[in-house]
Each structure stands twice: as structure tokens, then as C-alpha cells.
Amino acid sequence: MLPEHLYIHVPFCARRCIYCDFAVEATRTPPTGEWVWAVSREMRLLAEEQDWGAPLPLDTIYLGGGTPSVLAPGDLAALAEELRDMVVWDPATVEWTCEANPESFTPRLARAWREIGVNRISLGAQTFHEPSLRWMGRLHGPEGPSRAMEIARDAGFARVSIDLIFGLPARLGRSWEADLDRALALEPDHISLYGLTAEEGAPLGRRVAEGRERMPVEGRYAREYLRAHERLTAAGFEHYEVSNFARPGEASRHNRAYWTNRSYVGLGPGAHGYLPPLRRWNTRDWHAYRNRLQAGSLPVDGSERVGPEEAAVEEVWLTLRTAEGRAWTSSSSTENELGRRWIDLGWAVETEAGFRLSAEGWLRLDALAVEMARAAEQETVGARRG
């Protein structure tokens, strides 16, 4: 299966946010020219290793970060030119997304991206509350997302997504209701929600471990998630995946590729790729990544082979996280029983062909996926013994 989806990681940020555990290089002078060379070099080495022979036909392209909007206006055009003999896409049908921070998303950059074919923008708003923005380490003010949305629309972007973070510490005084109001007032086509987490490698994780910061109680996290579900679906958004809402027809095709276990290429520091049955990931450090490529080797940091059992577990988790859900099956009475029990508990709703998790169920996604995977495994073992 040739990959039709390409993820490219831009590791540079002006500052690391308090919650960030991504592969990020905090710098005021990002070496974006070196990055263009390194990413194109990685793609060339990968194409040679896989012996693809012809350029890969892409359905989606996604630039994430880090902060892709720190790129100079001509950088993305230069990268596209470098990749031209290794990947191809139809400008009329490709979904090409670039993430952007409001403070670095300029009219000039927006026009440059639109001219080379980018057709979807994902804005990292996170919140509109100034004290919370300062606490996070965000560099845009409360009006930043509004200015960025205006820039995107003026440049001709018909598809714009907004990211928000819920579950902030209560002491910050952020009103989740007000943030939802502000986000909806910008009339985005897509909204992604992320619950605040204290990752071990992030500044917030260290503060929590040292007792200098306290995470909000679990009930606050659940209340804000369920309130967002109510507000956004009432406003016409489809809650099509555990963290994502879209106007009809505006769901992210690139993200759907991940959730349907499609093959994809990942380029850049810390990027993950999946070329079945092998999943692998790059070294996270920008300097180590660049140096490996300068030495003529792929910057792979680790890999795992996804066997039939692992694939079965992943399939359960991936289908439970989307609105399509799971179909009733004639081969697993245990799975059907679990689905019906979850419906009775309000954690799932019945569909024409089976069931899908409700918003209340998505709050329990990991636990329910483990429960179903274990039940399916036990049923398989029992059938073999019988």
C-alpha cells in the first residue's frame, strides 16, 4: 500500500509553551533554510530505501509543529520545489493544511501559502483569556485569533480550524463558556479541543511534580468537555471524533487517515510514519536530525512492527474514537454485549449498523477500548481452546 498522506514537522518555536512536550527547538532565529534542505533530503533517502521508483501521489499534506508560521514566505515554495520529483498531488483535490500561531501568521505569509496551494489553516488559539495566555507562554493576545482569522479569510482560505484547550487550573479564572463564545463568533469551519495534560517532559509536568502547580480536578475536565459538545453541536458542528468538531463536509481528511490506519510518511524531527507493517519515528532533537541527514543516513530513532494482534487492538481503539463507531458483529457476542451495556449506561448510542461512543463514552475512551480489546482476546482464546 503506497502512502497517500504526508506529515511534515516544523520544529521551531519562539518559545516553548508550558504544556508542550513536542519535538521543539525554541529559537528567535530559526534556520528554516537548513530545515528545507533536511526535510527534502530525508524524503529522498526514504524514497530510495523504499524503492518507490515513481513520485508518490498524495491525497493530503499536513505541516505541523512547532510553529510552521515561523517559516519565511518563500520557504514552503522552496520545499515544494525540492519535493517535486518525489511526491505529486492534484491542486484541485488535495487537502493541504498548515498550522499557524496567530502572532506569526502575517498577510504576506498567508498569501504565499495560498499561492502554492495550501487550502486549510489550523490556528492555535488555545484560549482568549489574557492571564491564561500569559501562563501558557503564548505570544498572541486575546485579539490574536481574530486578526489571524481575518488574514486567512482575506487571503482566500475557505477552510480554517481553531484549536482550544480545556481543563485549565481554576485559579487562572478562565471562563470556558466565554472562550466557546469567542471561538464561535469567528465562524471557523472546524474546532479541535485538547484537554490540558502535565506531560513529564513539559514545563508543566515538572511544576506539577515539584508541587508548584496543581492540575484541575477531573470533574472540571469532564464538565468542560461535555459543555463544549453541547454548545458546538447546537451550533451546527458535527462531533466526528473524540477531539474534533466540523461543519458538515469540513472534517479533516488527513486526521481521518490516521484514525483509519492508512499508510503515511512522516518527515522532520520527531515525526512518525507508518509504512505497514512498520511504524517508526525520527529523533526529536533538531541538531541530531540534521546531522544524521548530513551524514547520509535516515534520522530514525525507533520502530515497531505491527503484527496481527497489535493491529486488532489498534483497530478497536481507532474505531471507538470516531463517530462511525463499530458495526455489530456475528463473530463476537462479547463485543456486542459490551456495546449494548455501554448504550444502557449512556456511554454509547446505537447506529444503523452498530454503535458509537457518546460524548460521555469518549471521556472513558481509553478504558473502554482496553475493556473491549481484552474481551475480544479472551473470546478468541476460548474459541481456540474449544
Task: Give the pLDDT confidence of 124-156 residue by residue, as tens digits.
Answer: 999 999 999 999 999 999 999 999 999 999 999
- Residues 144 and 238 grouped into a single domain: yes
The band of 380, judged by pLDDT with boundaries at 50, 70 and 90, is low
Domain boundary among 259, 287, 321: 259
Number of domains forming the structure of the chain = 2
- Whether 123 is covered by a domain: the verdict is yes
- Residues 89 and 211 grouped into a single domain: yes
The band of 334, judged by pLDDT with boundaries at 50, 70 and 90, is confident
Strands (E), the chain: 5-10, 12-13, 25-26, 56-58, 60-65, 87-89, 95-100, 120-126, 160-166, 190-195, 238-241, 244-246, 265-267, 272-275, 278-282, 300-305, 326-327, 348-350, 354-357
Tell me the pLDDT of the chain averaged across its residues: 95
Burial of 212 (0-12, 13-18, 19+ CB in 10 A): exposed
Residue 314, φ and ψ in degrees, nearest 5: -65, -40
CATH for 323: 1.10.10
Percent of the chain having pLDDT more than 90? 90
- Residues 30 and 172 grouped into a single domain: yes
Nearest to 83 by CA among 116, 111, 115: 116
Q: What is the pLDDT of residues 34-61, one digit of tens each?
A: 999 999 999 999 999 999 999 999 999 9
Predicted pLDDT at 377: 74
CATH for 194: 3.20.20.70
- Whether 282 is covered by a domain: the verdict is no
Predicted pLDDT at 373: 86
- Whether 34 is covered by a domain: the verdict is yes
Average pLDDT score over residue span 103-130: 98
Cis peptide before 66 (omega within 30 of 0): yes
- Whether 266 is covered by a domain: the verdict is no
Q: In what order do the strands lie in the sheet with 326-327?
A: 326-327, 354-357, 348-350
Tell me which residue range forms the domain holding 353: 309-385
- Residues 165 and 314 grouped into a single domain: no
- Residues 238 and 322 grouped into a single domain: no
Three-class secondary structure of residue 113 per DSSP: helix
Average pLDDT score over residue span 282-300: 98
Asked whether the predicted pLDDT for residue 306 surpasses 90, the reply is yes
Q: What is the pLDDT of residues 58-104, one digit of tens each?
A: 999 999 999 999 999 999 999 999 999 999 999 999 999 999 999 99
Asked whether the predicted pLDDT for residue 383 surpasses 70, the reply is no
Average pLDDT score over residue span 197-206: 94
- Residues 245 and 341 grouped into a single domain: no
- Whether 291 is covered by a domain: the verdict is no
Average pLDDT score over residue span 348-364: 96
Average pLDDT score over residue span 299-309: 95
Predicted pLDDT at 329: 79
Spell out the residues 6+ positions from residue 194 whose beta carbon is closer than 8 angstroms to its own.
163, 164, 165, 166, 243
- Residues 212 and 100 grouped into a single domain: yes
The band of 386, judged by pLDDT with boundaries at 50, 70 and 90, is low
Dist CA 124 CA 138 (whole Å): 10
Nearest to 83 by CA among 126, 122, 40: 40
Dist CA 244 CA 235 (whole Å): 14
- Whether 338 is covered by a domain: the verdict is yes
- Residues 154 and 233 grouped into a single domain: yes
Grid cell of 269 as nine digits: 524531527
The band of 385, judged by pLDDT with boundaries at 50, 70 and 90, is low
Q: What is the pLDDT of residues 272-284, one digit of tens each?
A: 999 999 999 999 9
- Whether 276 is covered by a domain: the verdict is no
Dist CA 73 CA 78 (whole Å): 10
- Residues 195 and 339 grouped into a single domain: no
pTM score, whole prediction? 0.95
- Whether 13 is covered by a domain: the verdict is yes
Asked whether the predicted pLDDT for residue 219 surpasses 80, the reply is yes
Q: How many residues does the chain have?
A: 386
Strand partners, 160: 121
Predicted pLDDT at 124: 97
Dist CA 29 CA 10 (whole Å): 14
Domain boundary among 195, 224, 259: 259
Q: What is the pLDDT of residues 243-278, one digit of tens each?
A: 999 999 999 999 999 999 999 999 999 999 999 999
- Residues 249 and 138 grouped into a single domain: yes
Dist CA 283 CA 270 (whole Å): 5
Asked whether the predicted pLDDT for residue 366 surpasses 70, the reply is yes
Sign of the C-alpha dihedral computed for residues 361, 123, 174 and 27 taken in this order: positive
- Residues 245 and 332 grouped into a single domain: no
The one-character DSSP state at 216 is P
Written in H, E and C, the secondary structure of 299-356 is CEEEEEECCHHHHHHHHHHHHHCECCCEECCCCCHHHHHHHHHHHHHCCEEECCCEEE
Nearest to 167 by CA among 220, 227, 244, 124: 220
Domain boundary among 259, 283, 298: 259
Q: Which helix (H) or strand (E) holds 222?
A: helix 218-234
- Residues 124 and 215 grouped into a single domain: yes
